[in-house]
């Protein structure tokens, strides 16, 4: 696990994560570290590839600005069904200050393992449903810029990439 969150175009962000076979101490340490980094960054979610790991894990916290966060760890998440659609501007810790309007399912049912190796079924809506879809995208190497549909977002994305390149050169 890295100490900083990978920023685009770090190639790890394009890698597909592998299913976790056993919940070992390493996996628990990884999850704990991911929760810490997510909370420190005021993020709603963080996927393992964003911290340099190829394990199929993400963490979510839909109340980033509250004193008592209630983070959820999802291991080997699988969407069971989804319905509806809703469009909202979405950010990502790997793309600081870039927001892309993304259409996603409104309700998502999924199952995932928790850190006690129990399979839990989650029925999600709203911000949680959006976050789950965003994080599962990460585990498949899919990023917010792959969801650009409007000219305005395309311009913002190109401008963001230019700024990043300039930063890298100086
Ligand atoms: Zn993200």
CA of 122 to the centre of ligand 1 (A): 20
- Look at residue 111 in the predicted model and tell me its pLDDT: 98
Q: Which of 38, 33, 88, 30 is nearest to 55 (CA)?
A: 30
Q: Name the active-site residue from 97, 123, 135, 155.
A: 135
Each residue's pLDDT tens digit, 153-168: 999 999 999 998 888 8
pLDDT score recorded for residue 62? 78
Neighbours of 31 (CB within 10 A): 23
pLDDT value of residue 81 = 97
The residue whose two tokens read 């570290």 is 33
Q: What CATH superfamily is the domain 11-169?
A: Peptide deformylase (3.90.45.10)
Average pLDDT over residues 42-54: 96
Structure tokens at 26: 């390493």
pLDDT tens per residue, range 85-109: 999 999 999 999 999 999 999 999 9
What proportion of the chain, given as a percentage, has pLDDT over 90?
88
pLDDT at position 167 is 85
**Cβ(109)–Cβ(80) below 8 Å:** yes
The single residue listed with the structure tokens 């760890």 is 73
Cα–Cα distance measured from residue 45 to residue 93, given in angstroms and rounded to the nearest whole number: 9
pLDDT at 65 over 90: no
pLDDT confidence of residue 64: 67
pLDDT band at 170 (very low <50, low <70, confident <90, very high): confident
Q: Is the pTM of this model over 0.85?
A: yes
Q: How far is the CA of 134 from the centre of ligand 1 (A)?
A: 6
DSSP strands (E only) in the chain: 45-47, 57-60, 72-83, 86-92, 95-104, 107-113, 119-125
- Please give the distance, rounded to the nearest whole angstrom, from the Cα atom of residue 50 to the centre of ligand 1: 8
13/104 Cα distance (integer angstroms): 20
Which residue, among 24, 25, 47, 18, has the nearest Cα to 35 in the 3D structure? 47
Q: Is 155 left (phi over 0), alpha (psi -120 to 50) or beta?
A: alpha
Q: How far is the centre of ligand 1, averaged over its atoms, from the C-alpha of 108 (Å)?
A: 18
Tell me what pLDDT residue 63 has. 76
Known catalytic residue at 97 = no
Q: What is the pLDDT of residue 26?
A: 97
Nearest to 107 by CA among 92, 122, 90: 122
Tell me, in angstroms, the distance from the centre of ligand 1 to residue 118's CA. Answer: 25
Residue 146 has a pLDDT of: 98
Pairwise CA distance, residues 13 & 52, whole Å: 8
Would you state the pLDDT for residue 169?
85
Mean pLDDT rounded to a whole number for the chain: 95
Q: Separation of 45 CA from ligand 1 center, angstroms?
A: 7
Query: What does the pLDDT read at residue 68?
Result: 75
Q: How distant, in Å, are the alpha carbons of 95, 128, 139 from that of 58?
A: 17, 13, 8
């Amino acid at each position: 696990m890295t100490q900083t969150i990978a920023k685009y175009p770090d190639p790890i962000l394009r890698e597909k994560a592998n299913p976790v076979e056993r919940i070992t101490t390493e996996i628990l340490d990884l999850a704990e570290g991911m929760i810490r980094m997510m909370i420190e960054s005021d993020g709603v979610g963080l996927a393992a590839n964003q911290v340099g790991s190829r394990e199929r894990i993400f963490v979510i916290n839909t109340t980033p600005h509250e004193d008592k966060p209630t983070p959820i760890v999802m291991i080997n998440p699988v969407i069971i069904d989804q319905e509806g659609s809703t469009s909202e501007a979405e950010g990502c810790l790997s793309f600081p200050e870039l927001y892309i309007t993304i259409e996603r399912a409104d309700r998502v049912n999924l199952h995932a393992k928790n850190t006690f190796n129990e399979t839990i079924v989650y029925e999600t809506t709203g911000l949680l449903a959006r976050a789950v879809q965003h994080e599962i995208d990460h585990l498949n190497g899919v990023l917010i810029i792959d969801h650009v549909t409007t000219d305005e977002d395309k311009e913002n994305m190109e401008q963001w990439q230019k700024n990043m390149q300039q930063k890298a050169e100086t």
